[in-house]
Amino acid sequence: FYKPCLDLNGGSDGWCNIPRKIRFNPQETLIAAYHNGVMVYAYKGDFNRNIDYHWTGATLLEPTKIVDYCTRSYSQGVAPYPQKESTAITGLALAKFPGSTDTDTIDYIGYDDRWLHCQLPSSISSSANNVQMTVAIFVR
């Protein structure tokens, strides 16, 4: 979700989701994925200074798992990372499995990849993939 803030004291937890993140000289980045408002995974890492101008800026440096409810064994505990080879039509695509993406709604050949390599648990969704997904990048 978008949480406006004027500095990095963005509420009780200190996380902000804002454009031009580097201007605040943040120290950490957090990438979180949600399904209908429920956090499915969150990883934090050292702030990557490329975030405002290059696709590699979405790479978490020294990632640490906060929470991960993905049910596929090969993606459980794997921090999301950007995919340069993505088939995404526009924007940034993130993956939890090499050579694929988990955040594309529809790629250039018509596949819906949302949650594909995460597989949502039944406690969060009756469908394991191809359903609503929101990914946010926060800094503090």
Q: Which pLDDT belongs to residue 109?
A: 56
pLDDT in tens, 16-38: 656 777 888 899 999 999 988 89
Model pTM score: 0.79
pLDDT in tens, 108-133: 555 666 777 788 888 988 887 777 77
What is the average pLDDT score of the chain? 77
Q: How confident is the model at residue 104 (pLDDT cuts 50, 70, 90)?
A: low
Closest CA to 58 of 112, 139, 140, 131: 139
Amino acid identity at 130: N
Amino acid identity at 29: T
